[in-house]
Amino acid sequence: MNTETVTWVHHWTDKTFSFKTTRSKTLRFVNGEFAMIGLMVNDKPLLRAYSIASTNFEDHLEFLSIKVPDGPLTSRLQHLKVGDEVLVNPKCTGTLTIDNVTQADNLYLLSTGTGIAPFMSIIRDPSTYEKFKSVILCHTTRTHEEHTYQEEIQKVIKYFSLIFIGSILLTISAKVKIPFYPVPMTMQTFVVLLLGVSLGWKLGLFTVSLYLIQGIAGLPVFAGTPEKGVGIIYFTGPTMGYLIGFLVAVYLAGIFKYTDNFFKNLIKLIFSVSFIYLLGMIWLGSLIGWDKPIFKLGAQPFLLAELFKVVLLALIIPALFKFKKF
């Protein structure tokens, strides 16, 4: 039995509340599952099953509960404060997961009251939207005030819309070539950095990951597809190192803090984008041999274009953040 610490408590109404706790490294679960949680009462563990509302890739646990005045456990849980301790059984289980759903185009999630909890973990998971064309969430309550997570659901819709739009921008920017010296350029690395700067590292990583998954699955989203092949065959070709470098670049661009200082922003962007070429050349060298002029083939022709793109992005960063605030 794990002992977790309460880190956040929110009372939606006088009948419902949510709380978050720390999450031990030993606790593993599939989105949609439940855990046995509780408190020590009279020197004995008092446990009940609670669906986990957070996702399995987050570093905390989140639960939604009703308030039952005479309930053995809920009458105590509703008085939780930040810093209190709760018991959590690390062996999670349950069948309300998308792995147990028959393959279909649409996923309907029907819930009432606190039954929305397991569905929150499902709709927060990007892999849900890879399996289904449409995800429809229905939440019924007695009163409007009991519609918990409304703002959170709107955020989920907004975030996944941004991820989808970002993956489209990555595809378009890979396909459109712009005349430049010494070779034509695309704006794809610009978009990678832009996603990190504007969306942050988490959403940025999700967006680039979705793009790569689409390409590996066989969609013609990469620069040389479908002319030079599609799917895993193309992905494992000469450009694989650069594509993997997208993940590092968007992460770094997303974790940096930006200011109105052009030169500081420029250095951060150059550092971020350099990993695309570093990983790209490492893979290229291992593929075609280190006796070949790797730098001349894999980086040198693109350096002027790359400098142009990071300078452009560094120039617009202040305006970008003003727009985000607006």
Q: Domains of the chain by range and CATH? A: 2-88 (2.40.30.10), 98-151 (no CATH), 159-325 (1.10.1760.20)
Q: Which of 23-27, 50-54, 99-103, 273-277 is the least confident region?
A: 99-103
- Bond preceding residue 226 cis, omega within 30 of 0: yes
Q: What is the pLDDT of residue 325?
A: 52
- 3-state DSSP assignment of residue 102: coil
> Mean pLDDT, to the nearest integer, of 189-207?
95
Contact between residue 145 and residue 12 where contact means Cβ atoms under 8 Å apart: yes
Average pLDDT over residues 259-281: 96
Mean pLDDT of the chain, nearest integer: 93
What pLDDT does residue 151 have?
Answer: 84
Provide the residue type at 282 as one letter: I
pLDDT in the model for residue 324: 62
User: What is residue 129's predicted lDDT score, i.e. its pLDDT?
Assistant: 86
Length of the chain, please? Answer: 326
Give per-residue pLDDT as tens, 220-238: 999 988 888 889 999 999 9
220, 214, 217, 168: which is closest to 195 by C-alpha?
Answer: 168
What pLDDT sits at residue 295?
95
Q: How far is CA 168 from CA 132, 188, 243, in A?
A: 18, 11, 16
Check residue 223 and report its DSSP letter. T
pLDDT of residue 326: 42
Task: Give the DSSP per-residue string, 9-42.
Answer: EEE-SSSEEEEEEE--TT-B--TT-EEEEEEEET
Q: Calculate what percentage of the chain has a pLDDT beyond 90.
A: 80
Please give the single-letter amino acid code of residue 183.
V
- 203's CB contacts (< 8 A; 6+ apart) are 159, 162, 163, 166, 195, 254
Please report the DSSP string for 107-156 in residue order.
EEEEEEGGGGHHHHHHHT-TTHHHH-SEEEEEEE-SSGGG-TTHHHHHHH
C-alpha span between 180 and 186 (Å, rounded): 9
Mean pLDDT of 34-50: 94
Residue 155 in this model has a pLDDT that exceeds 90: no
Residues 6+ away with beta carbon under 8 Å from 239: 222, 223, 224, 280
3-class DSSP state of 18: strand
pTM over 0.75: no
CA–CA dist 171, 202 (Å, integer): 20
Cis ω before 182 (30° cut-off from 0): yes
**Tokens 């992460």, located at residue:** 251
